[in-house]
Chain A
Amino acid sequence: MKAKVQISTIQFSVLLMGFLLGSTMIIVPGSYAKQDAWIAYIIAWFGGILLFSAYVLLASRHPRKNLVQINRLLLGRGLGSFVSLLYIWYFIHLAALVLRNFGEYTLTINLDQTPLWFVIVCYVITVTYSVRSGLEVTARTAELIVPFIFLFQIVITLALIPHVDFSNFKPVMGDGITPILKASFSVLFFPFGETVVFLMIIPFLNQQKKLNKTYSLSFFLAGLLLLILIVKDIGVLGGYGLDRKMFPPHMSIKHISAINLDPLIGVIFFISGGTKICVCFIAASLGIAQLTESNDHRPFVLPLAIILVGLSIWVYESAPEMMHWAIEIWGYYSIPFQVIIPITLLIISYAKPVIQTRSTK
């Protein structure tokens, strides 16, 4: 990244919240726990706190270093670069997945006659402009628009209270604990574990000492909002409604029959998705810039944008395949990136100084 780019704690916090809300605003990853999905969310939330604590610990042990630099430092230049390449692929893949989610959402809900590529190209042009302008611009944009997502969701939840049927939450744990644990596994890796992307952004935080506080507060607020949203969706749609519908949050909001909220919902959901895509996109381009020892990430933005458009269309055949992948496969695929590699790096970062001091003795 060019010059000394820095973002404030509030901007970092807003980026993190926008990222966590992201595609979880349109897809409910723990939906197969049906009426118990809220329990799965709480379990995943606690699991997510453990995961992000590991990320924060790793980042605080290597101040002002991003994931690529940490990989190279702890794993050596060759292996570190290879692992960094895998991460860059993971960030691009995540961005493509979110992009496709929103493309399919637009086709299903609003613009059913529009070709998918057109929706995706329009989205990518906006996101690319933001990413090419830099992290500061992306963070400032998020600072401006993410609060509206919170406001909108709270207003919508309040408006839906008359439609909530509390019998939808019964029977609690009717199918046992297994579906809940399976669903919490899914929720843990999508969206909570995905915050591993922020290991690329943390070095740009201007007050590194406040990292822990900022990270915790944003994680708590976004997790709380997600919990409120899932409770709202279960209350309005019921457990089976949640499991069977493709975009449950949208379907629950449709219960407000007094006004047509479709365009507004679309815009708000697009904003949250845009923040997530921007973060992944910027992390991938920063990673490539770091690997090529370039001080500017901008040259990689446009080629990556072309890859992103092609990949998001190529990656899935249809919307059901996309949902199956996002809910069932993504968790397993993410384990190495979100758990194994960061934990290994953390262990190495603690073990390396001990081994070095012993060898010098």
Chain B
Amino acid sequence: MIIIIALISLILLALIIIAVDYRIIKENNNKKLVFTYALLMIIGIVIGFITILDLPVPSPAIIIEKIIAPIIER
């Protein structure tokens, strides 16, 4: 149930933001802009979803730390 509520609220938030930005996006008439905008929105929803549900997905900081750790230990 919480998953559905979280997803619906995130999508609603995204729709509100799209409504706010719609005029500027239309004025620009740029396909790359629309694609990037949609991609950023999806990334935002995914990160929001992970955060709200506290999913056990390793954060970028943990991944970066794992990459850097061997260098520091040397």
1/0 per residue, CB under 8 A from B, across A278-294: the answer is: 00000000001001111
Asked if A311 and B71 sit within 8 Å, CB to CB, the answer is no
- Is residue A304 within 8 Å, beta carbon to beta carbon, of the partner chain? yes
Q: Knowing A296-B28, A314-B50 touch, does A329 contact B36 (C-beta < 8 A)?
A: no
- Known contacts A299-B24, A329-B65; A307/B40 CB under 8 A: yes
Q: Given the interface contacts A307-B47, A328-B72, A333-B68, does A302 sit within 8 Å of B28 by beta carbon? A: no
Closest to B46 in A: A310
Within the complex, the shortest CB–CB distance from B6 to chain A, in Å, comes to 12
Task: Contacts A93-B60, A288-B36 given; indicate if A332 touches B17 (C-beta within 8 A).
Answer: no
A selection of 12 A-B contacts at a CB cut-off of 8 Å is: A117-B51, A288-B40, A292-B33, A294-B28, A295-B28, A299-B24, A299-B37, A303-B40, A304-B44, A306-B17, A325-B65, A333-B64
Q: CB of A73 within 8 A of chain B?
A: no
A240 beta carbon closer than 8 Å to chain B: no
Per-residue contact bits, chain A 179-214, to B (CB 8 Å; 1 contact, 0 not):
000000000000000000000000000000000000
Known: A296-B28, A303-B17, A332-B71. A314 touches B44 (CB 8 A): no
B50 touches A299 (CB 8 A): no
Pick from B33, B50, B57, B64: contact of A294, CB below 8 A: B33
Contact-residue size bin, chain A (C-beta under 8 Å from the other chain): 20 to 34
Q: Does B12 have its Cβ within 8 Å of any Cβ on chain A?
A: no
A90 → B minimal CB distance (Å): 11
Count residues of B near A (Cβ-Cβ below 8 Å).
33
Q: 1/0 contact trace for B30-44 toward A, CB 8 Å?
A: 101101110011011
Nearest A residue to B38 via CB reads: A303
Contact with B along A295-319 (1 / 0, CB 8 A): 1101110111011011101111100
Contact B48 A309 (CB under 8 A): yes
Does residue B3 face the partner (Cβ distance < 8 Å to A)?
no
Query: Closest 5 A-B residue pairs measured CB to CB?
Result: A310-B47, A306-B44, A303-B40, A292-B32, A302-B17
Instruction: Report the bound CA distance from A293 to B35 in whole Å.
Output: 12
Inter-chain contact total with CB atoms closer than 8 Å: 89
> In chain A, what residue has the closest Cβ to B22?
A299
Contacts of A300 in B (CB 8 A): 36-37, 40
Chain B residues with Cβ below 8 Å from A291 are 32, 36
Instruction: Out of B27, B61, B71, name the residue touching A315 (CB < 8 Å).
Output: B61
B41 x A303 contact (CB < 8 A): yes
- A322 nearest in chain B by CB position: B61
Contact B72 A310 (CB under 8 A): no
A292 and B30 form a contact (CB under 8 A): yes
Known: A293-B30, A309-B48. Is A298-B68 also a contact (CB below 8 A)? no
Name the distance in Å between A123's Cβ and chain B's nearest Cβ. Answer: 16
- For residues 320 through 336 of chain A, which have their beta carbon under 8 Å from a beta carbon of chain B? 321, 325, 328-329, 332-333
Interfacial chain A residues near B24, Cβ < 8 Å? 296, 298-299
Complex: how many Å from CA A333 to CA B47?
22
Q: Is there an interface contact between A299 and B72, defined as CB atoms closer than 8 Å?
A: no
Question: B43 — which chain A residues lie within 8 A by C-beta?
Answer: 303, 307
Contact A325 B61 (CB under 8 A): yes
B36 and A292 contacting across the interface, CB-CB below 8 Å: yes
Complex Cα–Cα for A328 and B10 (A): 34
- Decide yes or no: A314 and B59 within 8 Å by CB, A288-B36, A293-B32, A309-B48 being known contacts: yes
Give Cα A298–Cα B37 distance, bound, in whole angstroms: 11
User: Considering the chains assembled together, what is the distance between the CA atoms of A307 and B33 in angstroms?
Assistant: 17
- Whether B33 contacts A329 by the Cβ 8 Å rule is no
B13 proximal to A (CB < 8 A):
yes
Given contacts A310-B47, A316-B61, are A304 and B32 in contact (CB under 8 A)? no
**Contact at B21–A302, with CB atoms within 8 Å?**
yes
Kindly list 11 other residue pairs between chains A and B, CB separation below 8 angstroms, not including A296-B24, A321-B61: A93-B60, A291-B36, A293-B30, A296-B28, A298-B21, A299-B25, A299-B28, A303-B37, A310-B48, A314-B47, A332-B71
